[in-house]
Structure 1
């Protein structure tokens, strides 16, 4: 009888053990896990397979862990949400001279820049508190790591080099028992992840969103799903555009060596070695701020080139008006993932940098791939979720795919009008005279778009729309031009006009999309050639992807100009660009194609 009573008590106790709970395909907050004061928090150092700081020892990555106490007291094993970053331990101050001076001619060297030191911040064992309050109460363990050469992680930052892919791989290997972790950066006792199921999901924003993709390109077992938010997927596309030296929005003069200095918060005794070998050798000899051409250095920092081993499910997230890490970064990876047959989805909103998918969407993806709950996420007919212009960021509209499958290319041709405003028509007007603009970086894009008359841009607009017009996809531009100098900036904006300068105006009320190119690269992205003064060249390139409904009453505008004050170098004003209108056109992906456009023009 005693044994029966004890067995019954044991059975009841077993039933009361805390376990993850799911409802409607989502992990729910479990009261027993939602106990911050009882969470177990500790750190360790995971050994990698590389030595990038030159000390003859394999680099170790600093890792922290936050887990429910039941993983210790009840033998509970849980999956992991993992975020890695170069920013956790502080960044360099933006002192005068930190960024490259952009006031010089194309093809010339800029002035030497200043290299400030990072003062490392943070104390063990906590690296970051991100993700913890969201996911630990829902039955996950949260792990963070500082990327190589930052914080207490050893090694050197390479800004997209192989070690920044292999470092998170090592952490995931450790979570699966395939790599070793230690209690200290040197020596120390071995630490094992006995509380991990081995299933890992990664997320993060910007650089923190790049690292999940970097890890996934290694094909590491255990990394089941990644949700990168506004990730930089190619450092060439971040710092260059179709051969042109172009800054990310808000950081005029930034380049890859600037970012190296910005994040280099690792061991101060190793910094001189890292500076000499990475910044002052590999980067200096590879980044090429003279021509802006694509080369082996940039190819090695383009994750699209490394996707063959990737097998993790992918949910991309980005803003169509992110002019820092531009929307092409997510689309190019999503498109490739779909071509590879990976389980992939994409979430786009109409705002700027950052902005993760709604929590319920992230929850369903993590729940399916990490807890194994059959919530149908991989069977959904819609693979794209777009936040419409006036909707809340948490309320996206589902579509079968991105671009919208009903979008068709619509070609529009400029009709002369300079220095005033010309037309933009689906009908080609033959035998037009070339029109000319004069480069002057003193006028930013907004000023040029708002001007009724100016010699510093060419602007062509459609009639007013009588109905809304939906654009979805990647616009393309072909411009045939001649320059008065061997090198010149080329900038293109697609606009929604008239310009709305009211306090309530949104980015989508004015700018549809943008693009930049170096005409010297008209034949090759890897080898530009100086332009012959006065000779015409055909330059074709893609603009940034978009999905936007242009409202009735607006006009679509094509603006062609040279230096873009907020993005390009600032050469001395005065370069003349002549545009052959007969051989210039823009292609817009319009839902419903030409018929939809005609309807919007004729009603």
Structure 2
């Protein structure tokens, strides 16, 4: 067990933050201070810190470097602090766990009448949206912004800090939903914790507040939007932000509201788009409402482009991958493989980029839906190593922690990396009548009589949901191809891709692909039926980067195009007795636009492929299917 003092009395900001941290870990003076206790590489609960009646609580406003509400003055963001009483009584300096959010002062109720109308032709003009009325009551005073993390981290010797995003609650400015001020707001708070920005006792006053009690070392975490903002702050490269644990973060608003050039809603919120989210969170000061609506929300509506669904400078500015070079904070990423709101690609794309750049990285994936933090032990080891500065060897732990099917989320299985290092891409080809259930084979129909060179047709009809189509014995609204029954379990790990050669009898159409486990049972167990999903706009088939396509060429009715795109990342063991199925259809009722039914898509089966990331590669899949190897 290692005990750390909180430091010796020092003039406020008499030394840089790094020097203060070094001083804070000197041996305690003769009159021993209360300090952090480290055991097994983790900060432990200290009884003197755990007495909440001794905690110091206060709020303040931190001055930022931006003016997003056009009043000619730098915006100030509202902050609350909860810290051990020893930070005053004993001069203790402590590290900080910080969460920021646009949700702390309430949100608009879900009213789909104010979402975008899904009844729109693909590539056609959307019907005008009726914006939300100003239904979020502004809260004038909120000294305690949130209680999150306090019970976990203050007893372990950390301060917990919350702040409200610009334009929400008592923070000045306008919400920008991924705009620069959402990154610079938390940066300002971290600067204040390090003595580089000014804090004030009131939103418009001049009495300053200093963070004399802080070591300057900060860890950020949060879920969903609150998980997005730690990454946003990290992209600024702000000194003092040592570690982040984003949970189900939205790392690109384009990828949140679009897929491969296709207008696509997040799961559970059909018709939502970025301007709808603005309305949902705008709880800020009433006197700037008109300015923010005109200069931010209406500009979003003008630029979001629900006609083509293409990428643009507007979306690029809200894609954190484009700012990834600024990230230095050690990152423990957390996500669910069945999160159809903020889909797992959001964490995967950032994790891969950070790994390439040598940023300390671990990932925790579970099999559930939206949200779900890593086990506290993993979070504690991460923050203890990178925020407290204790050499606990966390960097030598497994790089990937994955909760296996049916396991407790507190007991993930360690792996050397994600995707699994033994995963290899295996190509499968469809054949036969997919309106029934055709064949999906490793070799494909490799004879010389033209088998496998046929076509399959899909008649678009948005009124049939994907699970209905997967369960149907026959349907002309989808094509379904399946492997023979697996004789052994098959472990998929990574990103499956599809290449579909398709034509349509219309100038534009939705294209949806599900990877399923058959027979479709309708089970409530999250891994029993669905493996993963993906969507694309065939009009963007020729795009240099279909994941973020800048332009589309449109479709010439009857002319084939080849569309290759990734499905959502996954790590799943498909059990023996199942069949792996590829389902191709057009409109996905719960995710895409709802054009008039009747568009016919024709799929060239001979030029259509599915590539699966199979642990053990082709040999493992062939063995599971009892297919002889080519050797």
Q: Give TM-score scaled by structure 1 length.
A: 0.96
Distance in 2 (CA, whole Å) between partners of 1:517 and 1:32 is 56
For 2:443, the equivalent position in structure 1 comes to: 427
Q: 1:22 to 1:230 in 2, by over 3 A?
A: same
Deviation digits for residues 155-202 of structure 1 (CA, Å, limit 9, x no counterpart): 111000111111100000000000000001102310000000000000
2:331 counterpart of 1:314: yes
2:531 counterpart of 1:515: no
2:576 counterpart of 1:560: no
For 2:602, the equivalent position in structure 1 comes to: 578
Trace 1:196-215 onto structure 2 (pairs within 5 A). Answer: 196-215=214-233
2:107 counterpart of 1:86: no
Deviation digits for residues 357-400 of structure 1 (CA, Å, limit 9, x no counterpart): 000000000011111111101123x2010000010011100001
2:83 counterpart of 1:67: yes
For 1:592, the equivalent position in structure 2 comes to: 616
Deviation at residue 280 of structure 1 after TM alignment: 0.7
Distance in 1 (CA, whole Å) between partners of 2:323 and 2:530 is 33
Aligned 8 A contact 2:227 2:246 in 1:
yes
Distance in 1 (CA, whole Å) between partners of 2:415 and 2:109 is 43
Aligned 8 A contact 2:114 2:129 in 1:
no
For 2:12, the equivalent position in structure 1 comes to: none
For 1:533, the equivalent position in structure 2 comes to: 557
Distance in 1 (CA, whole Å) between partners of 2:52 and 2:389 is 26
Deviation digits for residues 324-352 of structure 1 (CA, Å, limit 9, x no counterpart): 00000001000000000110011000000
For 1:446, the equivalent position in structure 2 comes to: 467
Distance in 1 (CA, whole Å) between partners of 2:130 and 2:369 is 29
Q: CA RMSD in A?
A: 1.3
Aligned 8 A contact 2:167 2:282 in 1:
yes
Aligned 8 A contact 1:407 1:592 in 2:
yes
More divergent stretch after superposition (84-93 vs 431-440)? 431-440
Look up the SS of the partner of 2:527 in the other structure: helix
For 1:170, the equivalent position in structure 2 comes to: 188
2:170 counterpart of 1:152: yes
Distance in 2 (CA, whole Å) between partners of 1:325 and 1:45 is 31
For 1:457, the equivalent position in structure 2 comes to: 478
Aligned with residue 141 of structure 1, among 150, 159, 164: 159
Aligned 8 A contact 1:93 1:116 in 2:
no
For 2:356, the equivalent position in structure 1 comes to: 339
Deviation digits for residues 78-133 of structure 1 (CA, Å, limit 9, x no counterpart): 00000000000011122352211101211222232232222134843100110110
Distance in 2 (CA, whole Å) between partners of 1:29 and 1:12 is 19
For 2:504, the equivalent position in structure 1 comes to: 483
More divergent stretch after superposition (116-125 vs 59-68)? 116-125
Distance in 2 (CA, whole Å) between partners of 1:200 and 1:435 is 56
Aligned 8 A contact 1:389 1:549 in 2:
yes
Aligned 8 A contact 1:81 1:202 in 2:
yes
For 1:45, the equivalent position in structure 2 comes to: 61
Aligned 8 A contact 2:117 2:126 in 1:
no
Distance in 2 (CA, whole Å) between partners of 1:300 and 1:591 is 37
Deviation at residue 43 of structure 1 after TM alignment: 0.3
Deviation at residue 37 of structure 1 after TM alignment: 1.7
Aligned 8 A contact 1:316 1:346 in 2:
yes
Give the number of aligned pairs: 589
Distance in 1 (CA, whole Å) between partners of 2:525 and 2:418 is 23
For 1:412, the equivalent position in structure 2 comes to: 428
Any stretches of 5+ residues in structure 2 without a counterpart? 1-26, 544-548
Look up the SS of the partner of 1:508 in the other structure: coil
2:46 counterpart of 1:22: no
Q: Give TM-score scaled by structure 2 length.
A: 0.92
For 1:376, the equivalent position in structure 2 comes to: 393
Any stretches of 5+ residues in structure 1 without a counterpart? 1-10
Deviation at residue 284 of structure 1 after TM alignment: 2.1
Aligned 8 A contact 1:89 1:122 in 2:
no
For 2:130, the equivalent position in structure 1 comes to: 113
More divergent stretch after superposition (91-100 vs 116-125)? 116-125
Aligned 8 A contact 2:131 2:276 in 1:
no
Aligned 8 A contact 2:115 2:129 in 1:
no
2:453 counterpart of 1:436: no
Distance in 1 (CA, whole Å) between partners of 2:265 and 2:92 is 48
